[in-house]
Amino acid sequence: MLDNLDIKKIDDLPSARKCILLLYNLVEEMKQDNRELSEQNQKLRDEISWLKGEQGKPDVKPDKKPPSSDILMR
């Protein structure tokens, strides 16, 4: 992706915008890859813990109902 990027050719606004867009797209792609790798890493850590006989990371779910506002009015 960066093969097309030649910093020496940036001498006007359209060229600068093109380079910024290329870099922005690269950052977004790397961000997505990082997120996916982090999730995969956590799954592998959980599996290793399970194979060792340890408990994995608990799956804590939020409460289904928010507290009633009637209780707060009293």
Whole-structure pTM value:
0.58
User: Mean pLDDT in each 10-residue stretch from start to end of the chain (74 residues)?
Assistant: 72 86 94 97 92 78 72 58
What's residue 26's pLDDT? 93
What's residue 41's pLDDT? 97
What's residue 56's pLDDT? 61
What's residue 57's pLDDT? 66
What's residue 18's pLDDT? 87
Contacts of 2 (CB under 8 A, 6+ apart): 22, 26
Q: Are 41 and 33 in contact (CB under 8 A)?
A: no
